[in-house]
Amino acid sequence: MAHKFNVTPAANDQFKFDFSYNSEKIFWSENYKQKASAKSAIESLKKNAPGAATVDLSKDETGSGYRFEIVASKDGQHFVRFVAGNGETMVRTETYTSKASAKNAIESLQKNGPGADVADGA
């Protein structure tokens, strides 16, 4: 399968992960103190992303629970973050010039995330 999660070392003996397609990162995480925490976050994404709502903050939409948020950057572009039920951002994307590209990233994680392999490069 071309989609996969990659767990890798981060600064200060921490760990991070990304969700990629053919080595192109689509979403990436913040750093975690323990590898087990990064892997737990991946399992949460696999479970919760497929049914998560999408909230377009650039249109003043609001939401709660697990959700994708489309966010407008200062230069008029857009990025996506996946937010957990507790309000913490789990992963985010690059900034896209097109909102359609941001929506494609969401669709990719929802459709391909649950069955994606997890590569442990840490």
Structural domain includes residue 58: yes
Q: What is the pLDDT of residue 42?
A: 96
User: Is the residue at 62 inside a domain?
Assistant: yes
Residue 122 pLDDT level (bands cut at 50, 70, 90) = low
Q: Whole domain around residue 19: which residue ranges?
A: 3-115
C-alpha–C-alpha distance, residues 84 and 64, integer Å: 9
- Which domain CATH number covers 14? 2.30.29.80
Flag whether 120 is in a domain: no
pLDDT tens-digit readout, 7-35: 999 999 999 999 999 989 999 999 999 99
Q: Is residue 102 part of a domain?
A: yes
121 falls within a domain? no
The answer to whether residue 76 sits within a structural domain is yes
* Residue 44 contacts residue 61 (beta carbons within 8 Å): no
Residue 84 domain-assigned (yes or no): yes
Q: Does any domain span residue 11?
A: yes
Tally of structural domains, the chain: 1
Q: Which helix (H) or strand (E) holds 50?
A: none
